[in-house]
Amino acid sequence: MKYVIPCLILITLIVAVIKKVSVYDSFIEGAKEAAKLIVSLLPFLTSVFVLIEVFEASGLNVYISKYLGYVFSFFGIPKELSELVIIRPLSGSGSLGVLENILLEYGPDSYVGKCASVVCGASDTVFYIVAVYLSASDDKRAPLAVPISLIASFIGTVAACFLCRFF
């Protein structure tokens, strides 16, 4: 797997040389576009990051995950995972941090450890994606995008915890 991306890049470069496409110009154009994109992204990124920061600093995440733990266990999600399930749609790096802690505490081959890995691998940062994908559009309407993504991810999480009993 580790050769896929390097080879993809190498092949792209070789084909570009054969077809006489200027690699240097493409790089400059790409970087220029990236700069523009990041500038338009910046406000949306900061909004999501401010949210994560105050959410964690207030201790609200611990509090909420404690109570939602009861709701989650009803769906078969172990309560050790509730913090992860809550932080997952908000922050990619945050949820990887929680995953690290769970793997350290319970071990990667335990039921909780496996569940946590599958939940992390099978879902994504919903709020971040919504904010980022719409950032460049003039028409920011994407009806029901947040609730549908969250509900579908939650069903995936329930399925993940169920499946991990058998793997």
In the region spanning residues 143 to 162, those forming contacts with other proteins, defined by CB under 8 A, are: 143-146, 148-149, 151-153, 155-157, 159-160
Residue 68 as a binder of other proteins (CB under 8 A): the answer is: no
Binders of other proteins among residues 72 to 131 (CB under 8 A) are 89, 96, 99-100, 103-104, 107-109, 113-114, 117-118, 120-127, 129-131
Residue 161 contacts residue 76 (beta carbons within 8 Å): yes
Q: How far is the CB of 10 from other proteins (least distance, A)?
A: 11
Q: Smallest distance, Å, CB 83 to other proteins?
A: 15
> At 94, which helix (H) or strand (E)?
helix 92-106
Q: Which of residues 48-67 bind other proteins (CB under 8 A)?
A: 48-55, 57-60, 63
In whole angstroms, the minimum distance from the beta carbon of 72 to other proteins comes to: 15
- Collect contacts of 134-143 with beta carbons under 8 A, ≥24 apart: 135/40, 135/41, 135/43, 135/44, 136/37, 136/40
Under 8 Å between Cβ of 45 and 132: yes
Nearer to other proteins, 46 or 66 (CB): 46
CA dist 139 → 41, 74, 127, 153, 167 (Å): 15, 40, 18, 25, 44
List the structure tokens of 73: 């266990």
Q: Which residue in 47, 66, 67, 101 binds other proteins (CB under 8 A)?
A: 47
Question: Pick from 7, 12, 66, 101: which binds other proteins (CB under 8 A)?
Answer: 12
Interaction of residue 6 with other proteins, rule CB under 8 A: no
Q: Amino acid letter at 48?
A: V
